Amino acid sequence: MQTFKQIQWYPGHMFKSFKEIKQKLKLVDLVCVLLDARLPDSSMNPEILKTVKDKPILLIFNKIDMADEKILNWWVKHYQTLGFETLKVNAQSGQYTNQIFDKAKYILRERIARDEAKGLKMRPIRTMILGIPNVGKSTLINQLSKTKSTKTGNTPGVTKSQQWVKLAENFELLDTPGVLWPKFEDAKVGYHLAITGAIKDKILPEDDVCQYAIKFLQTHYLSRLQKRYDESITREMEYVDILDLIGKKRGALIKGNEIDYDRVYQIILTDIRNKQLGGLSFDRNDV
Ligand code: G4P
C-alpha cells in the first residue's frame, strides 16, 4: 500500500471554513456536531471540540441504519462518559430527528428556567449543524425543515428569514451547515472515510481502499462476506484470490477472461455503501 502522506486536505479551505464557523458560533446557543454512526471517531474533528468549548454541544450520530448497532452503542456510551449529550438518528428517513428539540431544551434547561423565573417569554433556541463532508448535514437540515411544514399542516414550506430556518418548538437553525475536515492522523482513518464515501474515490488508490475493506470484512464480518459473495471465503484467504472469486462470480471480466479488477473494486465498494453487507461499523472498540 502507498503511504498515507499523499492525502492532501486543502489548508486554505480548512482555514476559511474554521474562520466562518467561529463567526457563526457567536450566533447560536447550541452546536450540533454530526458524526457518521459507522465511524464516530474517524468522522470527529478533534479541533472542533476545542473551538466550540464555550457552547453546549449535542453529538448526533447519523446514518444509524448503516451502522452495526452493538458497536455504535459502545461509542455512544463512550462519548456520554466524556460528558456529551448524544442522539442517534437517521436523517434520511427522519427517524428520531424530532428528538433534537427535546435534547436541545434539556441541554439549555438552566437558561430556560432562568428566563421563566424572570417571567420572560421563551427565547428562540438557535443552533447550527457541523460535520465533515457527506455526513448528512444537508439531509438533516432538510428533514428538520420538512418536519415543521408537515407538523403545522397549513404552512407551505418553511419560513426563512435571512439565514435562519424557523422550525417547530421555537427552534431556529442556521440554514448553511459548517463543513469540517476530517482528521487525517493515520491511514486507518483515511481508509474508513474512503470506504464510506466521505472522501472522493480518487483521493486514495481504489486498490488500497478495497484491500483494506476486504481485510476488514474478513476480520470482523466474515459470515456476511461469505453470504454476499461466496461461502468458500475464509479469514486467511488471500486478497487477490477473493477479488478473482468475486470477479468470476459477477462476470467482471475483460478480454481473455481476465478479471476486470477496477469493476471488482466498484462492486465491493458500492455493495458496502448500499448496505448490501448490512450495517457495518469501521471504528471499533474490539481491535
Ligand atoms: P453533507 O451535507 O453533510 O455533505 O451530506 P448530505 O446531506 O449531502 O448526505 C450525504 C449522503 O448521505 C446523501 O446520499 C444522503 O442521502 C445520505 N444520508 C444522509 N443521512 C443518511 C442516513 O441517516 N442514512 C442513510 N442511509 N443515508 C443518509 P447521496 O447518495 O449522496 O445522495 P442521495 O442519493 O440520497 O440524493
Ligand 1 pocket, residue 62 CB under 6 Å = yes
The reply to whether 12-175 and 205-273 are identical in fold is no
3-state secondary structure of 197: coil
Read off the C-alpha cell for 196.
464510506
- Quick check: CB of 66 below 6 Å from ligand 1? yes
CB of 210 sitting under 6 A from ligand 1? no
Computed over every residue of the chain, the mean pLDDT equals: 88
List the beta bridge partners of residue 31. Answer: 57, 128
CB 126 within 8 A of CB 73: no
Cα(1) to ligand 1 centroid in Å equals 29
| Lowest-confidence pick of 43-57, 126-140, 155-169, 194-208 | 155-169
Q: Which of 179, 141, 185 is nearest to 18 (CA)?
A: 179
DSSP state of 228: H
Residue 137 CB–ligand 1 contact under 6 Å: yes
Its pTM stands at 0.90
At 29-81, the pLDDT tens digits run 999 999 999 999 999 987 888 888 889 999 999 999 999 999 999 999 999 99
Please, which pLDDT band fits residue 161 given cuts at 50, 70 and 90? very low
Residue nearest atom 24 in ligand 1 by C-alpha distance: 63
Give CA–CA dist 34/32, Å, rounded.
6
Convert the pLDDT of each residue in 87-138 to its tens digit.
Answer: 999 999 999 999 999 999 999 999 999 999 999 888 899 999 999 989 999 9
Ligand 1 center to 148 CA (angstroms): 20
What pLDDT score was predicted for residue 50?
85
Place of cell 466562518: 20
Q: Is the CB of 92 under 6 A from ligand 1?
A: yes
Q: Are 85 and 106 in contact, with CB atoms under 8 Å apart?
A: yes
Classify domain 12-175 by CATH number: 3.40.50.300
The DSSP output letter for 255 is G
Looking at the CA of residue 63, tell me the nearest atom of ligand 1: 23
SS3 32: strand
Q: Contact, 253 vs 260, CB < 8 A?
A: yes
Please tell me the class of the 205-273 domain: mainly alpha
The full set of domain ranges for the chain reads: 12-175, 205-273
Q: Which ligand 1 atom is the nearest neighbour of the CA of 34?
A: 3
User: Tens digit of pLDDT for each residue in 225-275?
Assistant: 999 999 999 999 999 999 999 999 999 999 898 999 999 999 999 999 999
